[in-house]
Amino acid sequence: MTAKIIDGKRIASEILSELTERVARLKETHGITPGLAAVLVGDDPGSQVYVRNKTRTCQNIGMAAETINLPQTASQKEIVATVQDLNRDARFHGILVQLPLPDGIDESAVLQTVDPDKDVDGLHPVSLGRLMAGHPVFVPATPLGIQQLLLRTGCDPEGKHIVILGRSTIVSKPLALLLVRKEPGANATITMCHTRTRNLAELTRQADVLVVSTGRPRWVTADMVKDGAVVIDVGINRIEDSTAKRGTRLVGDVDFDGVREKASAITPVPGGVGPMTVAMVVSSTVQAAERTAAPTGR
Residue among 117, 118, 119, 121 flagged as catalytic? 121
At residue 177's C-alpha, the angle toward residues 87 and 186, to 5°, is 115
Beta strands at 94-97 and 189-193: parallel, antiparallel or unpaired: unpaired
- Cα–Cα distance, 283 to 262 (Å, whole number): 33
H or E segment and range at residue 14:
helix 8-30
4 belongs to the catalytic site: no
- Has 287 been annotated as catalytic? no
Please say whether the beta carbons of 65 and 54 come within 8 A.
Answer: yes
Nearest in space to 251 (alpha carbons), one of 260, 240, 243, 262: 240
CA distance 284 to 276: 12
In this structure, the number of other CB atoms found within 10 A of the CB of residue 153 comes to 16
Q: Is 89 a catalytic residue?
A: no
Helix, strand or coil, per DSSP, at residue 35: strand
Catalytic residue numbers, as ranges? 54, 98, 121
